[in-house]
Amino acid sequence: MSIGGSDLDRAITQLRACKPIPENQVRELCYKARELLIEEGNVVGVDAPVTICGDIHGQFHDLMELFRVGGDVPDTNYLFMGDFVDRGFYSLESFLLLLCLKVRYPDRITLIRGNHESRQITTVYGFYDECLRKYGSVNVWRYCCEVFDFLALGALVTGAATSLTPTDGPIAESIQSMDIPDADCDIEIETLNAQGEIMYRYARNSDSQSSAASQANSNAASSSPIAPTPSNTGPAGTGATSSANGSSKSETGAVLCVHGGLSPLIDTIDKIRLLDRKQEVPHEGAMCDLLWSDPDEIDGWGLSPRGAGFLFGADIVKCFNHKNDLSLIARAHQLVMEGFKEMFESTIVTVWSAPNYCYRCGNVAAILELGEDGSNAGFVRRGNGERGGGGRGWVLGSNDGPNANGMSNENRRLSSVLGDSMGRPRDGPGRRYRVFEAAPQDSRGMPAKKPVADYFL
C-alpha cells in the first residue's frame, strides 16, 4: 500500500492520536523518507526563521505540548537535533510522526541524527523492545534503523536576525516589571513560558556601554565571578584561550546545529560534509564525536565520562566558531533542568526539549526560536564569539550567576540568567527561548508493558 497524499494525512492523524500505523505503511513511509534524506547533505542548509528543538526521547505527549507552545507544522519551521527515541514510552509514535511530517512538509522540518539513532543504543534503551511489543516482530525497528543511517549529521542556519521583535505579552507574575528592558531597546534574548508570558528579556549592550562595563569589571571586587576583561589578543585560534578576548573583526555568522558537539578531527564544517554518514554510528572517529561530545569548563580537549566522544572547552569553541564564521553552536544531548543553557559567553547553547525526563527528573524543557533578518543578509555582530569577558563566568540557563545569592529559586532558575549586572558585552543572533513543562497527566495514558492478547473464538 502506497503512503502518499491522503494516505499520508490519515497516517499523520492516526499518529497524532498516539496510535501506531500498520507495518506496511511504516515500510512505505521509511522508504519515502530515505528517498528524501539521501538528497540532503551531511550538513543541511536551513533558512531562518526556525525553531530549534533538543532531545524528545519518545515522550509523545510532551512533543504535542512542544507543538502547542511553538506552533504546529507547517506553520512553524522546525529543526530537531536528534534523540527522538528511547527512554520514553512512545518512541515509535514520536519518530513516525516526525517522519510523516518530514515526508509531508519536507521544507518545513529538518531532522538530524542523535546518538540514540543507533542500532546498538536502541537495543539497550527501549526502542527495540517497544517495536517488538507493539508489532510482534522487529521489522519496524529495522525499517527505522535504516532511516537513522540517512539522517544528516548537522544543520547550518543562515539569515538569523541580530535582534528580536519583543513579544507584546504580559509579564510573568514572579518577575518584576522593572527588570524587563523597554520594548524599544535592541533585544537580544527573550524567555517566555508556555502561556506566552515574559520571564526574561535581555537588551544588547552598545559598544560604548560594553567598554564602560569592561572598565567597571576591572575595578570590581575580587569576589566577582566575572574576570576582568583583557584586551584583544589577536584572532581566535592563535593562542586565544577561554579567558582571552580574541579578535573582533568578523561581523557575519551562521548557527551550527549538531546533536552532541565538536571533534578534534573536525576543524571546518566542510570536513563534516565529507564524512560517510550512511552507516551505523561508529564507536570512535569524527562522526561518533559529533553525536557524543559535550562542552565542559576545561581548556582544550578532555576524555568524556560517556566512553565516547570528547569534552571540549571554551577555547575550542571560539577557535571553531572563528574559523567557520559562526555566531553560535546549538546542540542537545545533555539534560538541562532549566531547558536551556548557554556557555562560554553565549557561543554555544544546549537545548533540551523533553520535560520531566524519564517521567521523573522534574526538569522543564525549552525550544529556541531564531527570527529572520529583514534584510536577508544574516548579519550577526559577533562572528566568532570571542568578544567579551572571560569564559569562566556563570552560564545562561544555570542556577549559578553573579546575582545568585539572595534570589528566590524561581528567579535563579532563569538565571541570573541573564542577570548580567556587570554589563559584559554579549553579541549574538536574536534568541527567543520558550520554556514549557510536561503535558498534563490527564492527557497521557501509561501504556501496557506487555502486548494485549488476541483471543480468537
Q: Residue 388: enclosing H or E segment and its boundaries?
A: none
Grouping H, G, I as helix, E, B as strand and the rest as coil, residue 152 is strand
Give the count of beta carbons closer than 10 Å to the beta carbon of residue 6.
8
The CA distance from 62 to 83, in Å, is: 14
- Angle 271-272-276 from CA coordinates, rounded to 5°: 105
Give me the amino acid identity at 297: E
61 is catalytic: no
Place of cell 577555547: 315
The CA distance from 30 to 27, in Å, is: 5
The CA distance from 387 to 384, in Å, is: 8
The CA distance from 82 to 113, in Å, is: 5
Residue tagged active-site, from 57, 116, 322, 333: 116
Grouping H, G, I as helix, E, B as strand and the rest as coil, residue 402 is coil
Q: Residue 342: beta bridge partners?
A: 349, 396
Find all residues with CB under 8 Å of 152, minimum gap 6, and list them.
37, 40, 41, 42, 43, 44, 110, 111, 112, 113, 277
Do the bridges between strand 50-53 and strand 78-80 make them parallel or antiparallel, or are there none, so unpaired?
parallel
Omega prior to 49 cis, within 30 of 0: yes
* Pick from 18, 145, 56: nearest CA to 357: 56
The CA distance from 388 to 129, in Å, is: 49
Q: Residue 103: enclosing H or E segment and its boundaries?
A: helix 91-104
* Nine cell digits for residue 435: 520554556
Catalytically annotated residues: 116
